[in-house]
Structure 1
Amino acid sequence: MMKKIALIYMGGTFGCIGDPLSPMPAEQFIPKLQHILPLDQQIECFVAPVIQDSSACTATDWLKLIQYIQQLQLQQFQHFVIIHGTDTLSYASAVLSRFLGQSAHVVMTGSQYPLLNAAGDNTREFTDAIDNLNFALDCTVKYPVGVYLAFHHHLVHAQTALKIHTTELDAFNGVNAAQPITLSSQYHIVQENDISKAATFNCLSLMAQPIAIEQQIANLKNLQQHPPHVLILQGFGTGNLAVNQEFIATLHAIHAQGCAIVLTTQVPFGTINQHYAVSEWTQHANIIISDCLGHADLYAKALKMYLQYDSVDQWHAHWHDSV
């Protein structure tokens, strides 16, 4: 029996025309998109609640998308392909994975080149858009429930996705979808209050640089004046940072103002290893050790924690729950 697929368009390079590129209005683009869809699949096209360049996307946009998917699920859709811009595609993928869990078959995709030519009246002579879309459509009916990212004939678990190149067709990496890994499985039904609360979500990532510790402390003290909801410290290697008592005291002061501090690594692949020196000082510095599958996944988990818990103490108590 043919499975019906909801194809949701959210903008990005995929739907741009002109030189320089600019987005074609969705109501004009969708009929052209329908024209190139494979005839051997039952596909219905939808326009996402928010259409914009992905560099401008925030948590509220992805939560509205999730809410839209959950509404379509009530209409008996269980297979979804999302066309999204590549700039924040890894973040979108991780957020959808954290909130949808194993509730549906969802494949994210996009393209490095537009589907249409500059005039917008025909398909572009050279484009990866058609290949990426057909690959995503094929994957959504062949793979188990879960959220995936399909790009340049590679399918990866969405929660692990990472953009690794700005312009090459092979632009994303992550854990291959055929490889079993432990993923977030908790389904979260997005409510209007989630979207409202997400609008104020303030997440700041501070990548450590090889500078004197006095300068590191000075940077933290600047943040201490107006701390975000969550401060992500990207350490070296397995999460190592040079610290002293003043550094730790400054972290305590930031934490005391309701800021959740999470330690991760700036290295793209691999996780924090507690067998190294990093583990000693973290035990009494009021910080959380990341257990996420990548930087975008850490953002997604922090967002979900922010929506679920009101105090930083609750973050510490529930961080290692299956969020």
Structure 2
Amino acid sequence: MSNVYVLYTGGTIGCIGKPLAPMPASQFAQLVASMPGLAQGQVAGLDVPIQFTIEPYTVGGQVQTLDSSNMNPADWVNIAIQLAANYAKYDGFVVLHGTDTMGFTASALSFLLQGLSKPVILTGSQIPLSSTLNDALPNLVGAITLAGKQPALAEVCIYFDSLLLRGNRAVKVNANQFAAFNSPNYPPLATVGTIPTVNTALLLPI
């Protein structure tokens, strides 16, 4: 069984209420556990279940829950430090992040975390997980599944609306559709449908 570390920095995926406001990581983890197939920190229904752990983003020991518009270069460094501190304990990593600056964070992490031998996948959503109609659940499950089941993937990526994109090639292209990200000058590394289809020829070597 693979084990995936999920770093919750905030963003729309973890918002609730009107107007939307980010929920604490502990409340978000409880909401995730109530989703079908995600109880007890596992992605069920796979040939081999994936264990995952959700932890909050911290700065100097203080929990930070940020809208992506508040992300800055210091946060990029702190996210990289938090992932590096847990690197030896997990098989893959997912960073939950707001969409507006996700592309910038992914690009920065691709340079801060060079020489990876494990996947680091950023994802989020256009609609919160707390809403009945949302893109949050498929994005979360898809990102965790790829992070836990694709050992040949050893780079920073963005997963959104069934597409896995190279992190430093991805850009937000739509604020209203679920297909919010694309990589206009580079093909997707993988597409998730009934089964994940990985374009192994495009992956960075381990």
| Alpha-carbon distance in 1 for matches of 2:81, 2:94 | 15
What is the aligned partner in structure 2 of residue 157 from structure 1? 166
- 1:5 and 1:44 map into 2 onto residues whose CA distance is 6
Moved over 4 A (4+): none
**Residue in 1 aligned with 2:194?**
none
Q: Show the counterpart of 1:77.
A: 90
Structure 1: gaps spanning 5 or more residues? 117-123, 186-323
Instruction: Specify which structure has the bigger relative contact order, considering alpha-carbon pairs within 8 angstroms and separated by 6 or more residues.
Output: 2
The yes-or-no answer on 1:63 pairing with 2:62 is no
Aligned to 1:202: none
| 2:107 counterpart residue number | 94
Determine the C-alpha separation between the residues in 2 that align with 1:69 and 1:22.
25
Matched, 1:125 2:132: yes
Task: Confirm or deny: 8 A CA contact 2:25 2:55 kept in the other structure.
Answer: no
TM-score, structure 2 as length reference: 0.79
Structure 1 residue 147: deviation in Å?
A: 1.1
The equivalent residue for 1:8 is 7
- Cα distance in 2 for partners of 1:66, 1:100 equals 7
1:70-106 per-position Cα deviation (integer Å, ceiling 9, x unaligned): 00014x2230011100010000111111111241211
Deviations along 1:146-177, one digit per CA (max 9) or x if unpaired, are 11110000111111010011111101011311
TM-score normalised to the size of structure 1? Answer: 0.51
1:31: Cα distance to partner?
A: 1.7
Q: CA RMSD in A?
A: 1.8
Q: Which runs of 5+ in 2 are unaligned?
A: 59-63, 190-198
Q: Is the contact between residue 25 and residue 56 of structure 2 (CA under 8 Å) also seen in structure 1?
A: yes
**Rounded Cα–Cα distance in structure 1 between residues aligned with 2:26 and 2:68:** 19
Which one has a bigger Cα radius of gyration? 1
Q: 1:13 touches 1:114 (CA, 8 Å); kept in 2?
A: yes
Q: Which amino acid aligns with 2:3?
A: K
3-state secondary structure, aligned to 2:202 = coil
| Secondary structure of 2:32's aligned partner | helix
Partners of 1:153 and 1:134 in 2: CA distance: 10
Deviates most, 128-137 or 24-33: 24-33
SS in structure 1 opposite 2:7? strand
State the identity %: 31
Larger helix share, 1 or 2: 1
Letter in 1 for 2:23: M
Q: Is residue 51 of structure 2 the alignment partner of residue 42 of structure 1? A: yes
Question: How far 1:58 sits from its partner (Å)?
Answer: 0.2
The total of aligned residue pairs comes to: 175
1:1-323 map, 5 Å? 2-36=1-35, 37=38, 38-39=43-44, 40-49=49-58, 50-74=64-88, 76-103=89-116, 104-116=118-130, 124-140=131-147, 141-142=149-150, 143-174=152-183, 175=186, 176-177=188-189, 178=199, 180=202
- Once residues 126 and 82 of structure 2 are traced to their aligned partners in structure 1, the CA distance between those partners, rounded to angstroms, is 26
Give, as a single letter, the amino acid of the residue that structure 2 aligns with 1:148.
Answer: C
How far off is 1:55 after superposition? Answer: 0.5
